[in-house]
Amino acid sequence: MIDMVSSNIFHCRKHSWPSEEYISKATLQLLDFDSAAPPEQAWRRRLNSHANLLKEFSVTFMEAMKMLRLGVRLWSYVRQEASQGRKAPIDPFTRESCKPSASQGVPLGGMGSGSISRGFRGEFRHFQIVPGLCEASPILANQFSIFISRDQGNKKYASVLAPGLHEGLGKSDGQGISSWGWNLSGQHSTYHALFPRAWTIYDGEPDPELKVSCRQISPFIPHNYRESSLPCAVFVYTLVNTGKERAKVSLLLTWANSIGGISHLSRDHYNEPFIGEDGVSGVLLHHKTPKDNPPVTFAIAACETQNVNVTVLPCFGLSEQSRITAKDMWGTMAQDGHFDRENFNDGPSIPTSPGDTLCAAVSASTWVEAHGKCTIAFSLAWSSPKIKFSKGSSYNRRYTKFYGTSERSALKLVHDGLMNYKRWEEDIEKWQNPILRDNSLPEWYKFTLFNELYFLVAGGTVWIDGHLPAPDDKSNMDGNRNRLTNNEDRENVDVRVTEAKVNVKESVVVEHDRINGFSGNSGYGVIDDDEKMDGSLHRNESMDCEDNKRSNKFTQLNTFPGTENDDEDVGRFLYLEGVEYIMWCTYDVHFYASFALLALFPKIELNIQRDFAKAVLSEDGRKVKFLAEGNWGIRKVRGAVPHDLGTHDPWHEMNAYNIHDTSRWKDLNPKFVLQVYRDFAATGDMSFAVDMWPAVCAAMEYMEQFDKDGDGLIENDGFPDQTYDAWTVHGISAYCGCLWLAALEAAAAMAHQLGDMQFADKCKSKFLKAKPVFEEKLWNGSYFNYDSGTSSNSRSIQADQLAGQWYIASSGLPSLFEDSKIRSALQKIYDFNVMKVKGGRIGAVNGMHPNGKVDESCMQSREIWTGVTYGVAATMILTDMKEEAFTTAEGIFTAGWSEEGYGYWFQTPEGWTTDGHYRSLIYMRPLAIWAMQWALSLPRAILEAPKINMMEKMHTSNNGRASTNEVGGVRKLVSKTKCFSNAVFHCSC
C-alpha cells in the first residue's frame, strides 16, 4: 500500500483563507474604497514567505534503460537543431540557469502579445516577448520603490517594495542596484491573487503610519476580443496616512531596456521621455532584439493629476562608467523625492554600446494629508507589433488591428490603460462575481478556477490579426522553400489539399479551400438537387494533381482568412503545450484545456478548430525521422489530425512532435470529432458545423484502418499511440476505445443535425457493433481494464478511462454506458487512484493496480497529471458525484497551490510524482479545471441540444438513401445556414 501520509505538509486540509488572517481588520476598513482592498476570496501569501526551489522528476534506472535509444536519438536531434540556430521543441538536456522556485504570481498583459510574469514578492520575470523563448530569470532593476518624508524632512523612509536582498545584487557599496534601499522585511506585507488582478498590501512597511495597496490589473476580459489582446498592465497605488502629520510620498518605477536574459548587453538600445495626453507621462525604451527578431518598445508611465506630480529620469546605468548610475538615481530620489522637470526635454538617448545596461525611471509624487487618502496610477506596456518565426513568415499581432504597426504604439497603450482600467475592473468583477458569490462552491475552487487561467497569458500565447503575413516580410513560403536544406526536407515534398462534399438533401458543396473561412479559389458552391452524390466525403484526385503541378510539389498548408465582416474577424491564436514543450496548440492536450477558451473566448476556440480542420484534409510529404523507433515517415498524413500546429513555422510545418508517428495515434482523430461536436452544440453555429463537416467525415473514415478485425472498435498497436506517449497499449484500450465510441455517437448526432443521414446511420451501425465488444473485452465488474492485452498492467485502473464519456456528457448527448457502470468505474478511481495516494491530498494517479499499488510500469503511469485529475472531477460532477469530484480536484490545489504544498502556483506542471517531483512547468492541460465549471453550469444550448438515440432502429427510404424526415430532431441544411438560439455567443451568419 502507498503510504497514506508522507510528511506533515499534508497534515491538515484548510478550507478557507480569510483575508483577516493576513491583514488587520483596521487596515482592511481603511482600504475599503476604490477596489483597494483585496477580495474576500483570493490566493494569498506573505511577502516574507520562503520561495523554495522546486524538485524536478527523474526517471528510474529501468525507465532509463527502456528509453536509452530514444534518449540518444533525441540528444542528436537537439544538437542538430541547435546547429541551425533553433531550439528543439522538446529538450530535456538543457537546463535554465535560473532554477525554478515557488515564487510566481499573476502575469502581466492580455493574451497573445508577449507576456511578463510578476512574482508574488514583486520581481518581474519570465519574459516571453519573442515567440517560443522564455527568459525565466528576474530582472532585478525592474522594481517599484517608495520614498516617504515627514516632519519637514526630519523623518524619512526609503525602500524597494520587494523584501530582502536578492541573489545577484552584488556588494551594497557598488554603483548598481545593490546600493538601493532593500529595507523591506515583508513581515507585514501580503500578496493576494485573483487572476487577472493581484493586490499587494504593505501594512505599515516601511512607514508604520502609512498603509499602501498596490493593485495590478491586466485587460483579460472574457468575450472582449479587442482589449484582451493588449500588451499592457496598470498598477494602482492607494495610500492611506494614519499619522497626525501629512507625508510626502513618492513612488518610483524603474525599468531596464531588456527583454530578459542577457538581451540588455547587446547594442543600439535607446530611451526617450514623453509627455502624453491626459497627464500621462513617462519614458519609451526602444530595444533592438537579436537574430533579426522584430524590435520591442517598452513604455513606463504615470498619470499626473492635480495632486500627483510626475517626473522622469530617461537614462541611468548599472556600472561605474555610466554618466548617471543607479546609485545616483536613488540618491536623488531619497533627497528630493522627484527628478528634474527638464528631463522631459532630453530627447532620444545615444544608442548603447555592447555590454552597457540602459535603465529608465518614472516618479510620481504627492502629499497625503493626515488621516487622508490618495491614489497614484502607473502603467507598463510593450509593443512588438510583428512576430517572426525562425523558419516562417512574420505576422502582425492582434492588437495592431487597433493600434497600428509602429513600436511607438506603446505610448498609446499606456495611455489607454490608465484611462480605461476602471472599466476593465468593472467588467472583470461582473464576470467573476457570480462564481465568487456561489456559496455551494468551495473557496479554494473559486480562486483556483480563475488563477489557472494565468496560462492563457503566460503560456507563450500568440494572437495575430488574421490577415496575410506582414507585407514587408520576405520570408514567405517561397523563401521557406529555399531554406529546405536537410535531406528529409528535400525528399518527397508533397503537400496536398482536398475537395470534400457534404451529402445533404439541400445539396451544399463545401470546398476545402473554404473550410476555415479562408480566401481561396473556391467557396461554397450549390449543385443541383438531382446531381448524384455517392458518399459523404470525396477526394478530387484531379485537383490534387493540379495543385501539385502549381506548387512544384509544395503547396502552402493554409491560406489566411479574408473575412467579409472585419468586425467578426478575431484573428488566429496559438498557445504552447508548455514552456518546456515548445509546440503550438498541441491537440491531444487542447482536448483538456479547450473548455476554458470555449467558455470565455469561444470565437478563438472555433478558429483553432478551423485550423485543425484545414490540416486534416492536407498532406505534407516531407520525410521525418521518428525518434522512439528510429524509423522514417512523412510529416503529415491526409486524414490524420496533427499532433500540433508546429514550432518554427506554425500553420505551415505542423507536427513538430517527432517522438512517435502521430498519424498512428488512436486518440487525436476521436478528440477532434468530440471537440467539434461539443463546440457546435455549445455555440449553435451551423455555419461552423458546415465548415467542419468534411474534416469530421475524413477524421472518422481515417480511423477505420485501425479496426483490423472488423468488430467496429479500433485497436492500439502495442506502442504508446496516444497522449500518454510513454505508456504502452495493447489491443483494445479503455482510453482510446472509449474516445472512439464517443466519437461515433458525436459524429452520428452531428450528421443528423446536418441532414447527412447516410453517414449518421453508418456511425450508429459501427457504434452498435463496437459497444458490446468494448464492454465484453474490458469491463471486469467494477471498472474498465487498461487494455485487453496480457501485460502486467493490463488490469490497471486508469484514471482517464472515461474520457469519452466525459465529453459525451459535456456535450449533452446520452451516456455511452449504463449509469451503474459509469458510477462504479468513477468510484473505483476515487477509492484507489485518489484516496490511496496521500489520503486524497495529491490528485489522481494515472495508473493503479487493483491491489492498491501504484502502476509503475512507466514514468507516466506513476504520475499524477493535473489536467487529467480536473477532467476526472468534471466527469464525476456530470455523474452526480459532486463531493467526490471536489475532493479529487482539491488534491491538485493542496499539492500545487496551498501554502503547505510543493509551490507550483502560477506554473502548474503537467504532473508530479507521488513524492511531489514535477515534470514540465507552466503547462496547458491544467486549464481543464474549466471543464469542472462547464459541468457545474452546462450552457442552455447544451441542455437543449437535439438528442440522438444510438439504439433506435435505422430508417432508410425506399431508394436505399437515408431520409432526412424520418428521425426526430434532424435539422435540414440549407445554403444559408443559421445558428441555434441559447448559444454561448451569438454569431452572425
Chain-centroid distance of CA 878 in Å reads 24
What confidence score (pLDDT) does residue 102 get? 93
**Among 415, 447, 479, where does a domain finish?**
447
C-alpha–C-alpha distance, residues 936 and 445, integer Å = 12
Does 985 map to a domain? no
C-alpha–C-alpha distance, residues 395 and 760, integer Å = 41
Name the residue among 590, 639, 649 with its Cα closest to residue 617.
639
Does 713 map to a domain? yes
Q: Quick check: 394 and 388 in contact, CB under 8 A? A: yes
**Among 401, 418, 447, where does a domain finish?**
447
Name the residue among 884, 978, 942, 115 with its Cα closest to residue 599.
942
Q: Quick check: 116 and 127 in contact, CB under 8 A? A: yes
Name the residue among 295, 480, 518 with its Cα closest to residue 387.
295
C-alpha–C-alpha distance, residues 476 and 650, integer Å = 13
What confidence score (pLDDT) does residue 33 get? 83
Chain-centroid distance of CA 121 in Å reads 24
> Cell numbers 443521414 correspond to what residue?
757
| Structure-block grid coordinates of residue 195 | 487572476
Does 504 map to a domain? no
C-alpha–C-alpha distance, residues 495 and 511, integer Å = 17
Q: Quick check: 315 and 359 in contact, CB under 8 A? A: yes
- In total, how many domains does the chain have? 2
Amino acid at 888: T
DSSP 986: P
Q: Which H helix or E strand runs over 248?
A: strand 247-256
3-state secondary structure 138-175: CCCCCEEEEEEEEHHHCEEEEEECCCCCCCCCCCCCCC
**Among 431, 447, 463, where does a domain finish?**
447
What confidence score (pLDDT) does residue 969 get? 34
What confidence score (pLDDT) does residue 482 get? 34
Q: Quick check: 113 and 397 in contact, CB under 8 A? A: yes
- Residue 8, burial from CB neighbour count under 10 angstroms (0-12, 13-18, 19+): exposed
Tell me phi and psi for residue 688, to 5 degrees: -60, -45
Residue 29 to residues 36, 207, 238, 295, Cα–Cα distance (Å): 10, 19, 13, 46
The tally of CA atoms less than 13 A away on the side-chain side of residue 317 is 17
What confidence score (pLDDT) does residue 666 get? 98
Does 344 map to a domain? yes
CATH number, residue 746? 1.50.10.10
Those residues whose C-beta lies under 8 Å from the C-beta of residue 762, and which sit 6 or more positions away, are: none
Q: Supply the pTM of this predicted model.
A: 0.89
Does 624 map to a domain? no
Q: Which H helix or E strand runs over 911?
A: strand 911-912
Those residues whose C-beta lies under 8 Å from the C-beta of residue 545, and which sit 6 or more positions away, are: none
Neighbouring-strand partners of residue 194: 197
**What are 241-279's pLDDT values in tens digits?**
999 999 999 999 999 999 888 776 777 889 999 999 999
What confidence score (pLDDT) does residue 471 get? 58
- Diameter of the chain measured on Cα atoms: 100
What confidence score (pLDDT) does residue 132 get? 86
Amino acid at 119: G
Neighbouring-strand partners of residue 238: 213, 375
End-to-end CA distance of the chain: 58
> Cell numbers 515557488 correspond to what residue?
102
Q: Is 749 helix (H, G, I), strand (E, B) or coil?
A: helix
Tell me phi and psi for residue 144, to 5 degrees: -100, 140
Does 711 map to a domain? yes
Q: What is the DSSP string of 705-732?
A: GG-TTSSS---EESS--SSSTTS--EES
Amino acid at 346: D
C-alpha–C-alpha distance, residues 641 and 594, integer Å = 16
C-alpha–C-alpha distance, residues 777 and 783, integer Å = 12
Residue range of the domain that includes 434: 26-56+100-447
Alpha helices, DSSP H, located in 727-781: 734-754, 757-778
Query: Which residues of the chain fall below pLDDT 50?
Result: 1-12, 473-566, 953-989
Pairing label, strands 296-303, 309-317: unpaired
Those residues whose C-beta lies under 8 Å from the C-beta of residue 940, and which sit 6 or more positions away, are: 982
Q: How many CB atoms lie within 10 A of CB 12?
A: 10
Q: What does the CA dihedral 918, 919, 925, 930 come to, rounded to 10 degrees?
A: 0
Amino acid at 308: V
Does 963 map to a domain? no
Does 873 map to a domain? yes
Q: How many CB atoms lie within 10 A of CB 775?
A: 16
Tell me phi and psi for residue 496, to 5 degrees: -115, 165
